[in-house]
Amino acid sequence: MSNIAKKMLLLVSSGKTVFMTAELAIFWETEDKNALRVTVSRAKKSEYLESIRRGVYKLKDKKADLFELAGKLKKHSYVSFETVLAQAGVIFQWHDEIISASDRGSAIENEFGKFLYRKIPKNVLLNNKGIINKGNYFTASVERALCDKIYKDGLTYFDSLSGIDKEKVIEISKIYYNKRLENDIKKLFKL
């Protein structure tokens, strides 16, 4: 078995579908940037790796996990807003983009889909209350996603609040230090 094939087996067995250059260096135990660059180039030429954008790669024959990809395209982000709310049945309309909270707003579109990043304050972004580590990416709990949505857009219509823990929403809303958000949540739950 070739050296490059052995390196690819490490990636396949990791359970990840998307890799940043720094992660490849860790998996392949190399600190030499030139050696890493050569190995990545060979993996691409051998059609083991596919470049998504500079410094972000996926396994050629494996489908990229879109939530994992969203987290790799923009550091300091987690899947939230309508993406999480639609998955949880709080809103019934599915959006065709993956929407994440981040330290800067931006939009990225590529062959894998549309990725929208909405800016939230750094102190909120770095607070892990209501954030779930899925192993390969981070996502908001439904309560955190609801708070993110109301914080950014104000009180809007939600189709079903039956699966939401009101106490968790109230607790999470305090990390925003925003009276309008706290008042909107009281109105939403008729408190």
- Give the span between the Cα atoms of 93 and 87, in whole angstroms: 10
pLDDT score recorded for residue 75: 87
pLDDT in tens, 52-64: 999 999 998 889 9
pLDDT in tens, 26-42: 999 989 999 999 999 99
Average pLDDT over the chain reads 93
Inter-axis angle of helices 179-188 and 142-153, nearest 10? 120
Which pLDDT band, with edges at 50, 70 and 90, does 6 fall under? confident
- Give the span between the Cα atoms of 187 and 136, in whole angstroms: 36
CATH top class, domain 3-64: mainly alpha
- Give the span between the Cα atoms of 182 and 93, in whole angstroms: 25
Which pLDDT band, with edges at 50, 70 and 90, does 1 fall under? low
Residue 191, pLDDT > 90, answer no
pLDDT score recorded for residue 144: 98
Which sequence spans correspond to the domains of the chain? 3-64, 80-188
